[in-house]
């Protein structure tokens, strides 16, 4: 009996020692520097006053987003080569921040168009689809120069009653960052998004005549 207990205790000692050695290995792994998180879509969106008339509802379909830039990494391009900014990420995936920015832009604008959320009990006169085709920092003057932020979005408006096309337009904003630093690149993204959304909201507000069949 003592011999059996001795073997069991030995096995237990070996397992304990192995677990301790493994935990020791984990503790000495090099620690990676955490990424700094950023957001866009916080800037005020300026929308020119649209034509007078009654308010109308707009149902927004989920936006399509260029796959390479849809995640939480900040995408850059230089001479056709794509890369991501090191140690910097969006606080949420870019497509999520963009959708939130669209909702705020319409909510804060006193114009005719009112964005209707899915599931909301309200009449939708138009359906708005947005396709984000370009969302990147473009190093047009080389990798050491301050990049130009490019945001290009296609907007499509259809009447909800018969799906007739009301409008189809591409909106683009280019904003030069003041420096080649993340702290300067992020505000440029913010300004470019605000410019594009201002144009989209103004375009949607002016779509009233297209509601007539």
pLDDT tens digits along 13-70: 333 333 434 334 344 444 556 689 999 998 889 887 777 778 899 999 999 999 999 9
17-23's contacts with Cβ under 8 Å and 24+ in sequence apart are none
208/205: higher pLDDT = 205
At a CB cut-off of 8 Å and minimum separation 6, what does 22 contact?
A: none
pLDDT band at 1 (very low <50, low <70, confident <90, very high): very low
Can you state the angle between helices 94-108 and 182-205, rounded to 10 degrees?
A: 50
Domain region containing 21: 1-31
Number of structural domains (the chain) is 2
**Other CB atoms within 10 A of residue 89 CB:** 19
- Report field, pTM of the whole predicted structure over 0.95: no
CATH of the domain at 68: 3.40.50.10610
Do residues 136 and 151 share a domain?
yes
pLDDT at 43: 84
Do residues 60 and 14 share a domain?
no
Do residues 23 and 72 share a domain?
no
């Amino acid at each position: 009996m003592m011999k059996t207990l001795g073997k069991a205790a030995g096995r237990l000692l070996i397992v304990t020692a192995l677990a301790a050695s493994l935990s020791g290995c984990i503790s000495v792994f090099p620690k990676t520097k955490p990424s700094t998180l950023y957001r866009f879509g916080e800037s005020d969106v300026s929308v020119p006053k649209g034509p007078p008339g009654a308010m109308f509802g707009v149902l927004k379909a989920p936006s399509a987003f260029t796959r390479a830039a849809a995640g939480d990494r900040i995408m850059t391009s230089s001479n056709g080569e794509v890369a991501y900014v090191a140690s910097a990420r969006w606080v949420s995936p870019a497509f999520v921040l963009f959708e939130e920015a669209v909702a705020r832009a319409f909510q804060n604008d006193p114009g005719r168009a009112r964005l209707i959320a899915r599931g909301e009990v309200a009449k939708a006169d138009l359906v708005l689809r947005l396709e984000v085709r370009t969302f990147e920092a473009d190093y047009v003057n080389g990798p050491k120069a301050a990049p130009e932020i490019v945001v290009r979005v296609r907007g499509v408006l259809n009447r909800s009653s018969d799906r007739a096309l009301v409008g189809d337009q591409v909106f683009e904003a280019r904003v030069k960052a003041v420096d080649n630093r993340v702290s300067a690149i992020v505000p440029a993204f913010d300004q470019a998004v605000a410019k594009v959304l201002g144009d989209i909201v103004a375009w949607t507000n002016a779509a009233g005549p297209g509601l007539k069949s």
